[in-house]
Amino acid sequence: MTLSFVNIEYNGGHSCVSWQGLSLGDGDELNAFMHKEVANRLNDIPGRDEFRSHLRGLVLTGMGIDSLEVVLNAEIPEERDWAVGEALAEALLIHSHMVVFPWNMERDKRNAKGSLPGADIVGFLPFDSGFRLILGEVKTSSEEKYPPQVMSGRSGHLGHQIDNLARNMGTIYQLLRWLHPRCKGTEHQDAFDQSVTLYLNSGNKAASLFGVLIRDTAPNELDLRGRGNALARTVFHPASCELIAVYLPCKIADLPGQIEQGGAS
């Protein structure tokens, strides 16, 4: 499914690794996407609404009703730009690759300002007549350097994290262990079973790895090309790896405000 405000600026590839630069055009379409799709991912609005509805359905006294509203009104909005970047990456992958996310990781946070360890992107990608695992990382950077440090720094850079998802079985165990109870007995159990079966029968290789870089600079293939060529030496078929750079029409620091306003102005 294509989005009218997304423009392809460059693409390339080497072996089973590909890369693509996308710029987002400012306008009403992007505004609506930010206000609805991205906000839904960022704040887990469906889960929040279900939670609120359940609590309001409890048998409460007058004091209990007042107390509940105090609790509900104490919700802390997400204001970290990198968190909005992750939600934007997920929303774009849903539309461009039909990715299925069986669980919104926002629900696992115990601290309103906390972050969760592990992969930023965990879900299922339609593949042939079934599904395969999709695992990935998201980075944001306003650095006016190509590539930015988050792509090529000594530790914790995107390439290192993608390589970890491809080869570190301890990480894979934890991610599958996390996914299992969130899929078992739900509409996503078949996707879990199909993707994990494919992964195991391929010798722990058949997964789709994604790295998404959120930028507020001019599009430049140097952001991705070097890291893509490097990953092509460590990621092998039947695994696949796709790097995507998303170039914004606004500053990364302004992303939380764009969610409230409904997009870039």
User: From the CB of residue 258, how many other CB atoms can be counted at a distance below 10 Å?
Assistant: 24
In the block, tokens 């996503």 appear at: 188
pLDDT of residue 162: 93
pLDDT of residue 263: 45
pLDDT digits (tens, 9 = 90+) for 177-191: 999 999 999 999 999
pLDDT of residue 265: 38
pLDDT band at residue 153 using 50, 70 and 90 as cut-offs: low
pLDDT digits (tens, 9 = 90+) for 235-257: 999 999 999 999 999 999 999 98
Calculate what percentage of the chain has a pLDDT beyond 70: 96
Residue 102's closest CA among 42, 49, 171, 179? 179
pLDDT of residue 244: 98
pLDDT of residue 236: 93
Q: For the chain, what is the radius of gyration of the CA atoms?
A: 19
The three-state secondary structure class of 19 is strand
Distance CA 5, CA 93 (A): 14
- Classify residue 74 by its DSSP letter: T
Take residue 74 and report the two structure tokens written for it. 């104490």
All residues at 6 or more sequence positions from 260 whose CB lies less than 8 Å from its CB, including other chains: none
Take residue 103 and report the two structure tokens written for it. 């669980």
Distance CA 79, CA 135 (A): 25
Q: Which long-range contacts (CB under 8 A, 24 or more apart) does 139-145 make?
A: 139/85, 139/211, 139/212, 139/213, 139/214, 140/81, 140/82, 140/85, 140/213, 140/214, 140/215, 140/252, 141/213, 141/214, 141/215, 141/252, 142/215, 142/216, 142/217, 142/251, 142/252, 142/253, 143/217, 144/217
Q: 6-14 and 17-24: which strand pairing?
A: antiparallel
User: From the CB of residue 249, how many other CB atoms can be counted at a distance below 10 Å?
Assistant: 16
